[in-house]
Amino acid sequence: PLPPGEPRAGGTGSAPSQGIGEFDGVRAYRRGDPLKLVVWKKAAKPLATGTNDLVSRDAQQAQRHELWLDLARAALPDHEARVSRLTAWVLQADRLGLAWGLRLPGTEIAPDTGAAHRRRCLEALALC
């Protein structure tokens, strides 16, 4: 799972929740949520199996927290394993359409989204 979000610098966010292991900007779908907030890529499997386990983007949480993918937080003993975990996090955050930033020794890439951001971060990881 992705690491929890961090409070925004200068924000008034609370501590990150330790819910289902997802970034704080995603929560269980609530009746009445706008369909544009449903994370459809995550909904495909539950919909195929007939369950209603949908998730929505939580705009309030997303405004209070930022997702930072940090090599120091990968918590594995060897460097290659940490880089591998970070690469998986980059791909997952990109698939979910989340804004996220990357922290590596000597490098910090600000939170963003999209293919160019993903490529820049994957290149930084390859050179790490």
Question: According to the model, what pLDDT value does residue 2 have?
Answer: 83
pLDDT at 16: 40
- For residues 75 and 93, is the Cβ–Cβ distance under 8 A? no
The model carries a pTM of 0.60
- Residue where the block lists tokens 């890529």: 41
At 20 the pLDDT is: 38
pLDDT (0 to 100) of residue 18:
38
CA 18 to CA 10: how far, in whole Å? 22
Q: What is the pLDDT of residue 66?
A: 87
* Amino acid 29: pLDDT: 66
100: closest CA among 24, 10, 19? 24
Amino acid 44: pLDDT: 72
Say how far apart CA 54 and CA 38 lie, in whole Å. Answer: 7
| Nearest partner of 121 among 99, 90, 95, judged by Cα | 90
- What is the pLDDT tens value at each position of the chain, 128 positions in all? 888 877 766 544 444 443 334 444 666 666 777 677 777 777 776 666 766 676 666 655 444 568 999 998 888 999 999 999 999 999 999 988 888 999 999 999 999 999 999 999 999 999 98
Cβ count near 106 (within 10 Å): 7
Q: At what angle do helices 115-127 and 79-96 cross, to 10 degrees?
A: 180
